[in-house]
A = this chain, B = another copy of it.
Amino acid sequence: MDVGFIGLGRMGRVMAARLVAAGHRVRVWNRSPEAAKSVEGAEPVDSAAEAFSGDAAITMLADDAALRAVTIEGGLLDSGQRPGVHVGMSTISVALAKELAAVHGRAGVPYVSAPVFGRPDAAEKGALNIIAAGDDAAMTRVQPLFDAMGTKTWRFGAEPEKANAVKLAGNFMLVSAIEAMGEASAFAEGHGIPGRDVLEMLTSTLFASPVYKNYGAMIMEGRYEPPGFTMRLGLKDVRLALAAGDAVNVPMPFASVLRDNLLDAIAHGDGDKDFAGLATVAARRSGR
């Protein structure tokens, strides 16, 4: 397929490389142009509008503001050439996804939301879990692209914003797992038991899942740099979950605790560490 790829951050560049490797023609664009050269075999183009064409265009940008700037404010949908499908893979708010769905509807461009679970190392192996929602035919058309980037695609119906809600729910559960490990670890240390021994046991047994194993290992080793995903980005996602819960009157007391503790971490200068470092807040508060 002929694909435009907009946004070559830590995730985007690896995902675009997977598409190249799978034999697709990939035109890439990034705000800072050096990044565009980083994807071997892809074809850098000069503007987002040029990348917004072909069989499909994929956007993978940092946040609501970046995606809004490029698409809505950047007038992408008013440009002459437009893609067969726009696949939005960024982690954004439910509200913006809804707005994008409406805008694309009016412009006659099919819009599929397809945020992913997985960190850069998973993306490199094409091992992402892709959460997709949107027009069924459009999703089917871009399935070969999903197959190049992910292990499995999970479809959540016709309204694109639902995929974003699912992504936020998953990230919320993920940060909750980190917090629970952090509190359990501080608790154990308070009783003279190395936190790592407790986490090692629990993540090998009841909690033997990727999330607990990966983040558990980071907490056990106290290794939060370099970050795979920073505390600031973690807070961004928790904020999005709170806002989306708020919009439909769902109290989320765990999410409220997460927000307060991430703020505490950032206030202590740890905003650019890996968000597994949330575990240090429980430790610090207990005087360690």
Question: What is A's interface to B at a CB cutoff of 8 Å?
Answer: 94, 117, 129, 131, 152, 154, 156-157, 159, 161-162, 165-166, 168-170, 172-174, 176-177, 179-181, 183-184, 186-188, 190-193, 197-198, 201-202, 205-212, 239, 241, 244-246, 248-257, 259-261, 263-264, 266-269, 282, 285-287
Contacts and interface: CB of A to CB of B under 8 A. Distances in A.
Given A161-B191, A166-B201, A207-B209, 9 more contacts: A117-B206, A165-B187, A165-B188, A165-B193, A166-B198, A173-B184, A177-B180, A183-B254, A267-B287
Given A165-B193, A208-B210, A244-B187, A266 B249 contact: yes
Contacts of A282: 250-252
Contacts of A269: 287
15 contacts: A162-B192, A165-B188, A174-B206, A179-B254, A183-B253, A187-B252, A190-B248, A207-B211, A249-B263, A250-B267, A251-B267, A251-B282, A252-B282, A253-B261, A267-B286
Contacts of A266: 249
Contact of A209 (B187, B198, B208, B287): B208
Contacts of A157: 193
Copies of this chain held together in the complex? 4
A248 B261 CA distance: 14
Kindly name the residue among A173, A208, A212, A287 whose own CB sees the greatest number of chain B CB atoms within 10 A. Answer: A173
A254 B191 contact: no
Contacts of A186: 250, 252
A190 B261 contact: no
Given A94-B191, A162-B191, A207-B173, A256 B250 contact: no
B202 A188 contact: no
A97 to B, nearest CB: 11
Contacts of A180: 172-173, 176-177, 180, 254
A253 B249 contact: no
B210 A205 contact: yes
Contacts of A244: 187, 191
